């Protein structure tokens, strides 16, 4: 058995684990000036293992919405949970017209983390803190609800406008152009925040993150710091977060048993991946089995908490397998980083990395993503 410990980040996530209810994960992407683009994730403290008897051979199926014939857990009152978020041949994405290419980058005036730029008129100008399960100390500037493809300011009960600001509309237009229907359908909230005053120094390097807000993993929040870094950093971060949306939703992960002690498939930060899901297939078809074994040995030896020196040594040993240093920290983050590099056209080399890119390019439900990423150029 291979044991994977999800790493506690705050008291809130620890409490969520004890309650055994909602898996409150923030899938976070960090940008570091020395290392380039660096994603990261944090999860609730739960124990999941992988059953080695399940073998490594996996078949390809419509994993964005769930493998054929697989029931995906609770379906009542959960948007996107249990339904198939994209046809097996990728027809849902093919049918939609390709996006216009004039939505990125955002105007310079929209790269300021100011309430007046992002919050609807009438909103109190006092800054409010993000939820403790996200980035403690960071300031929330605006919270928008997503209804279909429309952006509305969250109803606070006050007599304030619910119409988004011009910058919020521009950001949402870019996200709509970049994210296919299968990704947009999962989003119910867009939060704009300023992470410059986050309590932890590493949290100040977070350009955006996603996290689920329902137990069925069918409703997600996307949070963006518009003032962070260069437009190219934020653009690739948005693609990275899309990868998490497409691979960790209720059609990808078994939501019926997040607290089960063992996984017959590769575990994720949200529970057991479903057979034929993008993540399970990626790990067992695109990763070198010997590298995967070494990663699990490192993870188990450190009780799920390898330090930065150990991760750096692992990356150095297998540098030709990863598109960035932090991609070596976790197969889940490696998938997101590799997808972002492939989608945005970043030049990569080396047979192991190209094998991962080839896996993504051959998935029918992901086939049009590089065309969507053209809006970022």
pLDDT value for 22: 34
% of the chain with per-residue pLDDT over 70: 69
pLDDT value for 99: 62
Average pLDDT for residues 98-119, to the nearest whole number?
A: 86
- pTM, two decimals, is 0.77
- 157-166, 171-180, 251-260: which is most confident: 171-180
Which residue is associated with the tokens 């359908």? 185
The whole-angstrom separation of Cα 326 and Cα 80 is: 30
The mean of the pLDDT values for the chain is 77
Q: Is the pLDDT of residue 315 over 70?
A: yes
58's tokens: 């996996």
pLDDT value for 145: 94
pLDDT value for 226: 95
Q: Is residue 120 very low, low, confident or very high in pLDDT (cuts 50, 70, 90)?
A: confident
Average pLDDT for residues 305-316, to the nearest whole number?
A: 95
pLDDT value for 235: 94
Q: Is the pLDDT of residue 40 over 90?
A: no
* DSSP type of residue 241: H
For residues 168 and 326, the model is more confident at: 168
For residues 28 and 167, the model is more confident at: 167
Average pLDDT for residues 153-160, to the nearest whole number?
A: 68
Q: Is residue 338 very low, low, confident or very high in pLDDT (cuts 50, 70, 90)?
A: very high
Which residue is associated with the tokens 């999941």? 48
* Cβ atoms of 276 and 212 closer than 8 Å: no
Least confident segment among 162-166, 250-254, 257-261, 266-270: 257-261
277's tokens: 């899901």
Spell out where the chain has E strands: 2-5, 26-32, 36-42, 47-50, 128-129, 139-147, 150-153, 187-194, 206-212, 220-224, 267-268, 271-272
Average pLDDT for residues 307-332, to the nearest whole number?
A: 96
- The Cβ of residue 83 has, within 10 Å, a number of other Cβ atoms equal to 16
pLDDT value for 60: 33
Q: Is the pLDDT of residue 257 over 60?
A: yes
pLDDT value for 261: 64
Distance of CA 261 to the CA centre of its chain: 24
pLDDT value for 255: 83
Average pLDDT for residues 254-259, to the nearest whole number?
A: 71
Least confident segment among 14-28, 211-225, 309-323: 14-28
pLDDT value for 137: 87
Q: Is residue 156 very low, low, confident or very high in pLDDT (cuts 50, 70, 90)?
A: low
Distances (CA, A) of 251 to 136, 333, 352: 30, 19, 28
- In terms of Cβ atoms closer than 10 Å to its own Cβ (0-12, 13-18, 19+), residue 18 is exposed
DSSP secondary structure string, 304-337? T---HHHHHHHHHHTGGG-SSGGGGG-HHHHHHH
């Amino acid at each position: 058995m291979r044991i994977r410990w999800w790493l506690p980040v705050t008291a809130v996530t620890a409490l969520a684990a004890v309650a055994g209810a909602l898996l409150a994960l923030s899938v976070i992407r960090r940008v570091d000036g020395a290392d380039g683009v660096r994603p990261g994730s944090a999860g609730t403290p739960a124990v999941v293992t992988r059953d080695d008897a399940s073998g490594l051979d996996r078949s390809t199926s419509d994993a964005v919405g769930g493998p054929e014939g697989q029931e995906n857990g609770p379906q009542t009152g959960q948007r996107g949970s249990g339904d198939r978020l994209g046809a097996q041949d990728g027809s849902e994405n093919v049918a939609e017209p390709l996006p216009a290419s004039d939505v990125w980058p955002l105007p310079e005036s929209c790269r300021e983390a100011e309430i007046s730029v992002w919050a609807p008129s009438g909103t109190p100008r006092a800054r409010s803190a993000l939820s403790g399960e996200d980035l403690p100390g960071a300031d929330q500037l605006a919270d928008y609800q997503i209804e279909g493809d429309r952006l509305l300011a969250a109803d606070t009960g006050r007599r304030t406008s619910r119409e988004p600001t011009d910058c919020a509309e521009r950001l949402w237009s870019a996200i709509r152009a970049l994210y296919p229907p299968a990704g947009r359908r999962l989003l119910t909230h867009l939060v704009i925040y300023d992470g410059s005053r986050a309590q932890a120094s590493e949290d100040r390097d977070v350009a955006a993150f996603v996290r689920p807000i329902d137990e069925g993993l069918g409703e997600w929040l996307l949070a963006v710091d518009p003032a962070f870094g260069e437009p190219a950093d934020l653009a690739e971060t948005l693609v990275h977060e899309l990868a998490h949306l497409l691979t960790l939703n209720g059609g990808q992960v078994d939501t019926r048993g997040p607290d089960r002690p063992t996984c017959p498939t590769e575990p994720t930060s949200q529970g057991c991946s479903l057979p034929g899901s993008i993540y399970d297939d990626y790990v067992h078809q695109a990763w070198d089995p010997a590298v995967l074994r070494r990663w699990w040995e490192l993870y188990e030896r450190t009780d799920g908490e390898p330090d930065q020196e150990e991760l750096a040594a692992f990356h150095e040993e297998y540098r030709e397998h990863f598109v960035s240093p932090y991609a070596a920290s976790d197969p889940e983050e490696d998938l997101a980083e590799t997808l972002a590099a492939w989608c945005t056209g970043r030049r990569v080399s080396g047979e192991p990395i190209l094998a991962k890119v080839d896996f993504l390019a051959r998935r029918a439900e992901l086939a049009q993503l590089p065309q969507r990423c053209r809006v970022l150029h």
